Structure 1
Amino acid sequence: MAELMAPARKTWGQTLAAYGRPIMIAMLILGFASGLPLMMVFSKLSFWLRDAGIERSTIGFFYWVTISYTLKPLWAPVVDRMPIPFLTSALGKRRSWMIVAILGTMVGLAMIAFTDPANGLVVTALGAFILSYSGATLDISIDAWRIESGPRDDQANMAAAYVLGYRGAIMFSGFGLAISEWTNWTVSFLVMAATMGACAILVLFMKEPYHAYREPDGKSFGRRVADSVIEPFKQFWDRLGNWIVPVFLLVAFYRLSDFTMGVMASPLYSDMGFDRAIVGGIQSGPGIIATISGGFLGGLIAYRFGVLRTMVVGAVITFATNAAFAYLAATGDSDSVGLLAAVISADNIAAGFVGTAFIAYLSSLTDPLNAATQYALLSSLYALICKFIAGFSGVMAETMGYVGFFVVTASYALPMAALIIFIMLRGTDAARGVRDLEKTADAAP
């Protein structure tokens, strides 16, 4: 408890210097590559669907196409351990899977580009599924690369760089929104596909991380496969014990506000009559400053004061910024560009801040030996529940209106703040994500 009350703190100079290393540039690129596929499904495609006259309830349920992100644990052991013929020997385990996954996102984006949602929604959904499945696979390999490439003390900073890149992808997808206004949606999605191709080229210049050594054994192939799936999940119970319940509840519901609100943000802009170029310009302009501020502020505070404290602050910020969308819906119109910019920027600050702390917390709960599988389990745990509930966001917006909808999504953050404080005050070291940090420090030469 004494360590909780007085954690070791770094100077501001040490904190800022950590961002000047090449690994942080790599995390910036990988965060961008991770964020772009999801945002094209999550936000920009929703805008396209609404413009095409698709009902809000259908748009909400359409978001379930990203269920592939929830099912990551089913094939994470494959990504974690199975080599890709020819590519793995040339590029390494992590980079080879990144390249293959990025190529899949390019196929999905190109397929969506040549569809017409108004007349062929099923084909659009198929392209979105390919995009999201490939994006989920990319996330698995990136998470493993991040965890293996840096010590635990660096994970908060690496998460900040990742979130900055991820949020940069959101901003760039806003530029894609402007492209759709200036040209058409086909050109917009093809530009995004070409951008993912550029990310694949940059991956080739990254360093393959060290992989934890696994002792060879004489077990049968079937036994080894079973162990590769069961062992990573069993470790959570061994480390957390009864605290697995509050920890997994926190993981499952901490991002619920963002998930449910985000599905209806683009339909709100469309229904209020905002020009797509204006929305995209705000996301790609002031939003960039907000993203940098939120991501790095979250990383700096988490690095200096602790991850859980930062998550409490993040929950409060999430409540305020979600409520701002209710205010926009109640008082704004298509001429309220300044208010729109303020709401979008505030949301970007909150998402960057919260995302940095949350990623660092999830990373602290994993074992490097099973990094990809365990991180995929944790990230899929919150995606499973949040995306299922988010699928009903269109029905909620249709039933209670935009104002009531955003008030409800804001309220989701308050119980999470209380749960984090409970874990901080009563939880074990493992539940607070510090046990592995101590073990790593003890083992360091």
Structure 2
Amino acid sequence: MKTNKEITPWSWVPSLYFAEGLPYAAVTLVSLVFYQQMGLSDAETTFYTSWFYLPWVVKPLWSPFLDLIKTKRWWVLAMQMLLGAAFAGVAFTINTSYWLQGTICFFWLLTFTSATHDVGADGFYMLGLTEQQQAYFVGIRSTFYRISLIIGKGGLVALAGFLQAYMKVQLSWSLVFYGLAGLFIGLSVYHKLVLPNVERKAEHKSLSVSYLFSEFVSTFVSFFKKKQILMAIAFMLLFRLPEALLNPIGPLFLRADISKGGLALSLESFGLVNGIVGVVGLLGGGILGGLAASRDGLRKWLWPMTLAITLPNLAYVYLGFAMPKSIFLISLAVFIENAGYGFGFSAYMLFMLYFSQGEHKTSHYALCTGFMALSMMLPGLFAGALAEALGYKVFFVLVMVSCLFPFLIAKKVKIE
């Protein structure tokens, strides 16, 4: 067996971050398409799937205590195996009479397992690499995370569509999820062989529960005593409200029948438009936003990024009223909206970094990510009901009205 020094990071960093992104894509997008195909209404679909954000909301509450139980390497391996079991559970229950309750339970297991895996993977990345290696591989890890999003949001949906040409809807989705189960069991076995043993056996128990709990309480209290805390929470909850409303409805609109006001894209076309073109736009916008903000800072770019995160939502107003049949026009509209969101979201990420500065900055940033997940969860709970009551066209107009909130909060917040 190779020693730690002989194990190259190339053997595990790409696969580790590929494994981190795929469950997130499955939970946040694939589940939407799956439940829509299984006959749930938009209101039911968005209500059930928005709750899947909850583990990322509360993740900062349990993540500090994981090291007391096992090492980060153990958590990575165990969670990948459990992810495989959860995907298998989804696949198995699809063809049962209790498919709704069963799949929701296993999706819940997926979300908590995925959130825990994120903690272990990010922690292991810092332990398993030197500072120089961390800097070198930061682009590599983000690239493979993005590849997993493209495969998850585009490839998996398109694969289900391809299979449905030969079999029933339920069986096609079962095979997709069984495939994911096999992949993650295989990844767990592979990573057991290649992840270096960088943590001493007693290292993870070096801190007591009481000490960690007191530190957590101290961190939690100090977070809510920070200057502008109420304004910061308002920013984190409202700055991307339009996207939080649009995010669960956009995919459902693209897939809905024309008689219901949708564009009736096939699963293969949807995978191309939303999963590949959309994700590429999102990533491209994010890269440009990061470059702009790193050069000139958030203060200069806050208003341009506020415009970017709001005005491109007009693309869906166009789609809702024009109802184009051209895949090119639909793809262009989805690309514009996602690229704008990616660029504007850079302001959100930078704000969290700036607000977290000071004592306990790592823990405070983790708490900010909880509010970030909450900002997507809460609007999603009722977005489907609104879309059903108003229709897609009026709903997209309402999304544009909600763009007032990012402008109001950007005007009020102070960037030092």
* Corresponding position: 1:60 with 2:46: yes
CA separation in 2, counterparts of 1:187 and 1:194?
10
Q: For the residues of structure 2 that align with 1:316 and 1:161, how far apart are their CA atoms?
A: 30
Kindly indicate whether the alpha-carbon contact (under 8 Å) linking 2:94 and 2:174 is maintained by their aligned counterparts in 1. Answer: no
Cα gap change, 1:36/1:395 in structure 2, threshold over 3 Å: closer, same or farther? same
Alignment of 1:242-391 (within 5 A): 243-271=228-256, 272-287=263-278, 289-333=280-324, 335-366=325-356, 373-391=363-381
Query: 1:377 deviation in Å?
Result: 1.6
**Contact 2:315 2:334 survives alignment (8 Å):** no
- Between 1:165-174 and 1:51-60, the stretch displaced more is 165-174
Which residue of 1 is the match for residue 223 of structure 2?
236
Q: C-alpha separation between the residues in 2 aligned to 1:208 and 1:359? A: 31
The 1:264–1:379 alpha-carbon spacing in structure 2 relative to 1, beyond 3 Å, is same
Residue 43 of structure 1: aligned partner: 29
Alignment of 1:23-422 (within 5 A): 32-63=18-49, 64-79=51-66, 81-84=67-70, 88=71, 93=72, 95-116=73-94, 119=97, 120-142=99-121, 165-173=144-152, 174-183=154-163, 184-196=172-184, 201=190, 204=194, 223-237=210-224, 240-241=226-227, 243-271=228-256, 272-287=263-278, 289-333=280-324, 335-366=325-356, 373-422=363-412
TM-score by length of 2: 0.77
Residues 17-55 of structure 1 show CA distances to partners (whole Å, capped at 9, x for unaligned) of: xxxxx9999887666444322221222121121112111
Normalising by structure 1, report the TM-score.
0.73
* Deviation digits for residues 172-201 of structure 1 (CA, Å, limit 9, x no counterpart): 121101110112112222333445457655
Q: Distance in 1 between matches of 2:191 and 2:303?
A: 36
TM-superposed CA distance for 1:226, in Å, is 2.8
* Deviation, structure 1 residue 344: 2.3
Name the CA distance, whole Å, in 1 between partners of 2:310 and 2:280.
Answer: 21
The answer for unaligned runs of 5 or more in structure 2 is 1-7, 164-171, 257-262
List per-residue Cα deviations over 1:35-88 (Å, max 9, x = no partner). 322221222121121112111111121121332222213312213x4241xxx2
Distance 1:27 1:354 in 2: 28
Q: CA RMSD in A?
A: 3.7
Aligned equivalents of 2:130, 2:80: Cα separation in 1: 23
Following TM superposition, by how much is the alpha carbon of 1:361 offset from its aligned partner in structure 2, in angstroms? Answer: 3.5
Residue type matched to 1:97 in 2?
W
1:310 shift after superposition: 4.1
- For structure 1, the residue ranges without an aligned partner over 5 or more in a row are 1-21, 430-445
Query: Using a 3 Å threshold, how does the CA distance of structure 1 residues 25 and 374 change in structure 2: closer, same or farther?
Result: farther
The 1:110/1:162 distance shift into structure 2, 3 A limit, reads same
Cα deviation code 1:384-403 (max 9, x no counterpart): 24312211111000111112
* Identity value in percent: 20
Structure 1 residue 421: Cα displacement = 4.5
Q: Which residue of 1 aligns with 2:166?
A: none
* Matched-pair contact (CA < 8 Å) for 2:42–2:384: yes
- Cα 1:134–1:287 change in 2 (3 A) is same
Residue 139 of structure 1 aligns with an amino acid whose one-letter code is D
Is the contact made by 2:237 and 2:375 (CA closer than 8 Å) also made in structure 1?
A: yes
Give the letter aligned to residue 52 of structure 2. Answer: V
TM-aligned CA distance change 1:304 to 1:385, over 3 Å: closer
TM-aligned CA deviation for residue 370 of structure 1: 5.3
- Structure 1 residues 364-395: Cα deviation after superposition (integer angstroms, max 9, x where no partner): 44479856643332111232243122111110
Q: Tell me, yes or no, if the aligned pair for 1:257 and 1:413 is still in contact at 8 Å.
A: yes
